[in-house]
Structure 1
Amino acid sequence: MYKILTLNNIAVAGLARFPRESYEVASEMQHPDAVLVRSFDMHRWDCPDTVKAIGRAGAGVNNIPVASFTQRGIPVFNTPGANANAVKELVLSGLFIAARNLLSAAAFTQQLTGTDQHINEQVEQLKKQFVGFELAGRTLGVIGLGAIGVKVANAAEALGMNVIGYDPHITVSNAWKLSANVKNVSSVEEVLRKSEFVSLHVPLVDGTRQLLNADRLEHAKTGLVLLNFSRQAIVDETAVCAALNKGKLSHYICDFPSNQLQQQKGVITFPHLGASTREAEENCAVMVADQIRQFLEQGLISYSVNFPDMDMPINESCACRLFVANANVPHMIERISSTVARDNVNIVDMLNRSRGDVACTLLDLATPLSEATLAVLKNTEGVLSARVLTPNY
């Protein structure tokens, strides 16, 4: 029986992916095998030794101490793309709000009083102050062409916008999905110079923290609309406010309210609504549940932020499968195989993959591995974690 601990509410559609006959799922339990989380801050959480995997029902993992889990041989999974459509639609909403002055226009009509005739007279007299412009023919720059950025770029292009994109790390898969009409540019500065709207879609890592700072914003076309539905720290808020006050930016539309932004003219904030749709929450929950099941039951890895992808069908002639996470250093396969050989066990299939400083090995064994040998393997220099899985055909 596998035990799954939930540190946040997880959509029922995801929890239903765990068969009741082989899984126990609860928000409080001892000795969990895996943990599901959304926004819970795990940096101060005492992780039990029994935990073998962490599943984040969402894309960002800033609330998870990934490096610490890596050193313990624990993969951290996330769900990139599962909420992409929800974020894309919110970005499009931001484009329309900025172009057509929708929020200020709605606020104006809500304070109208008097007879219908008087209200109509006020509308006709004052509506000109809310005149906007159309998006067709305008240029949108997309910084970051992952699952969300690609959807935003394609949707904007379908609206008749000219779209340029910047992402030096775009994957082959996302490049295939990107509209051929989206033009590639060579730098963030070039995006800012050429765009009337810029939408940010990059993860928060050391290299992207305050990606848009005062120096870069000097390159922006006057009156630029900046949209940030990625992460708050991607921009320098002080620099953004200064750019708004100078007229360099006309609007900053984001999902991250703060004291500094509260009274700033030109700022429109939302309460972190990017992935807040029923569909996105269900998609994320289903995706992460399937990832956790595959790892616990077969040792397979997909969409981990710290471990390599591992995909190997279980050989029908194997008695057990061994999963090993280890430091990516020379002679590790030799150490693992020689330890297995102590039981005179034959290896019928093997897969080894690496990612940065971490490597993973799957071995399908012809006969069971003894507990004593597994204990020796766990204490082998360079091994981060090891466990035996019994195949379920």
Structure 2
Amino acid sequence: MSFEIQTYNNIAEEGLKRFRNATYTIDTGAEPDGIMLRSQNLHETTFPASVKGIARAGAGVNNIPVESCTSQGIVVFNTPGANANAVKELVLASLLLSVRPILKGATWVQTLTGTDIDKQVEKEKKQFSGFELEGKKLGVVGLGAIGAMIANDAYRLGMDVVGYDPFVSVDTAWNISRRVRRALTLDEVFRECDFITIHVPLNDKTRHLISTKELQLMKNNATLLNFARGELVDNQALVEGINNQTIKEYITDFASEELLHHPQITVLPHLGASTSEAEINCAKSASRNLKLFLETGNIQHSVNFPAVELAFHSPYRLAIFHKNVPNMLGAISSTAADLGMNIDNLINRSRDEIAYTLLDLSETDITKINALQTAVSALNDVIRIRIIKHQEEN
């Protein structure tokens, strides 16, 4: 069994080296089994039938047609948390820059001339005075990997931290300091906080999460930070809000024409995950997810299919993508029994309207395995089915 991997963008070698063995080829032009990418837009891409999985070396998957992939039985992976530290550090740096005009001061010093620069600095430095983060209130909207780290470190800076996330996981809850207070509503965060940073995924429910109504709830001296996705904030409402002194300042990592050249808006060139460490971590995590899936059918960190893990010891395994409908497992099991095959192990997990089943078989005759694949494929509501042969090196 061999696999072809197609790459887009520059994927760190530390990730690609997982595929540098006899089982894999990379970018040979053959039909790919897996795709690895960072920012490449795949929405206009027609995927060949060979594609089984797409791994994004990063958290966001807005550049991938996830819904279309789901309908084709293509698993889409991301790497939540792999770039969390890089984004966290940039958010903290932006918080510091928002209260201390460091960049303006440094730029001004470069304009000085003469032999008494030290005296000029002492005379004019008051224009660059700021204030401190200690004692100010930070609202963190979204307590995933990034939000939780920001909440903890902001508390260590002396800030009063309020977190909001109705879907916070058990793992995240364990990692958040007890001193981070939980807000029960978004409105509570908007009304109370001096600084608000948002760290939620972009979807139909969160698009323009912050618009005119939300801005009007905020303090007129509040600073809003957005290092998650640009579309979470209604830019037109944001500019109007700043011009009307509804809020004080906006700092974002997502460039847009209407945000440029405004003295109270700082736009960074999408630097959140732009560290060598983050790129390496994301590449390693993405390759690990994709490799595990191709070789065993196990799914970790997928955005469109359920997480499934089953130890693989049998000669063959069927990986079955199907709709989440009643009696599907019964139909699959009956089909195997009708062909005289013994099921060694089975696991089924669902996610909304989609389900995924791994079926381990003691059968070693590939002709019979192919016959089972054909029979199961003919069942109603089956989307896709793969045969995976056990390999000792797995």
TM class, shorter-length: over 0.9
Q: 1:175 to 1:116 in 2, by over 3 A?
A: farther
- Specify the SS of the correspondent of 1:348: strand
**Matched residue, 1:333:** 329
CA–CA separation in structure 1 for the residues paired with 2:134 and 2:150: 15
Map 1:114-125 to 2 at 5 A: 114-117=113-116, 119-125=117-123
Counterpart code for 1:44: E
**Matched residue, 1:180:** 178
* 8 Å CA contact retained: 1:82, 1:284: yes
Counterpart code for 2:321: A
Pick the aligned partner of 1:262 from 260, 263, 269.
Answer: 260
Q: Greater CA deviation, 51-60 or 366-375?
A: 366-375
**Matched residue, 2:221:** 223
Say yes or no: does 1:366 pair with 2:367: no
Superposed CA deviations along residues 172-196 of structure 1, whole A, max 9, x for unmatched, are: 1101101100001122221111111
**Matched residue, 1:107:** 107
Could you tell me how far 1:284 is from its partner in structure 2? Answer: 0.5
Counterpart code for 1:314: F
Q: Greater CA deviation, 353-362 or 238-247?
A: 238-247
**Matched residue, 2:44:** 44
* 8 Å CA contact retained: 2:215, 2:241: yes
CA–CA separation in structure 1 for the residues paired with 2:122 and 2:350: 66
Counterpart code for 2:200: V
* 8 Å CA contact retained: 1:214, 1:240: yes
Counterpart code for 2:309: D
Note the aligned Cα RMSD (angstroms). Answer: 1.2
CA–CA separation in structure 2 for the residues paired with 1:250 and 1:100: 14
* 8 Å CA contact retained: 1:342, 1:373: no
Could you tell me how far 1:339 is from its partner in structure 2? Answer: 2.2
CA–CA separation in structure 1 for the residues paired with 2:232 and 2:369: 50
Could you tell me how far 1:110 is from its partner in structure 2? Answer: 2.2
Structure 2 unmatched ranges of 5 or more? none
Aligned length: 388
Superposed CA deviations along residues 108-149 of structure 1, whole A, max 9, x for unmatched, are: 12222x2231x2232122211111111111111000000000
CA–CA separation in structure 2 for the residues paired with 1:84 and 1:29: 33
CA–CA separation in structure 2 for the residues paired with 1:110 and 1:324: 64
* 8 Å CA contact retained: 2:363, 2:369: no
CA–CA separation in structure 2 for the residues paired with 1:115 and 1:71: 69
- Specify the SS of the correspondent of 1:16: helix
**Matched residue, 1:377:** 376
CA–CA separation in structure 2 for the residues paired with 1:379 and 1:231: 41
**Matched residue, 1:313:** 311
Counterpart code for 1:322: L
Percent of aligned pairs with the same residue?
A: 45
Pick the aligned partner of 2:136 from 135, 138, 157.
Answer: 138
Superposed CA deviations along residues 289-332 of structure 1, whole A, max 9, x for unmatched, are: 011111111110011001111111123xx221111010001121
CA–CA separation in structure 1 for the residues paired with 2:51 and 2:337: 28
Counterpart code for 1:67: E
CA–CA separation in structure 1 for the residues paired with 2:125 and 2:285: 47
Could you tell me how far 1:72 is from its partner in structure 2? Answer: 0.8
Superposed CA deviations along residues 226-252 of structure 1, whole A, max 9, x for unmatched, are: 110000000011111112112232221
Counterpart code for 2:144: G
* 8 Å CA contact retained: 1:343, 1:370: no
* 8 Å CA contact retained: 2:317, 2:359: yes
**Matched residue, 1:17:** 18
Q: 1:104 to 1:249 in 2, by over 3 A?
A: farther
- Specify the SS of the correspondent of 1:387: strand
Could you tell me how far 1:95 is from its partner in structure 2? Answer: 0.5
Counterpart code for 2:9: N
Counterpart code for 2:75: P
**Matched residue, 1:249:** 247
Q: Greater CA deviation, 270-279 or 242-251?
A: 242-251
CA–CA separation in structure 2 for the residues paired with 1:227 and 1:132: 18
CA–CA separation in structure 2 for the residues paired with 1:260 and 1:278: 31
Superposed CA deviations along residues 208-240 of structure 1, whole A, max 9, x for unmatched, are: 100010011111012101110000000011111
CA–CA separation in structure 2 for the residues paired with 1:370 and 1:163: 57
Could you tell me how far 1:69 is from its partner in structure 2? Answer: 0.6
**Matched residue, 1:148:** 146
**Matched residue, 1:61:** 61
Say yes or no: does 1:322 pair with 2:318: yes
CA–CA separation in structure 2 for the residues paired with 1:348 and 1:215: 57
Counterpart code for 2:319: F
CA–CA separation in structure 1 for the residues paired with 2:182 and 2:160: 12
Q: Greater CA deviation, 182-191 or 334-343?
A: 334-343
Structure 1 unmatched ranges of 5 or more? none
Could you tell me how far 1:350 is from its partner in structure 2? Answer: 0.6
CA–CA separation in structure 2 for the residues paired with 1:286 and 1:75: 18
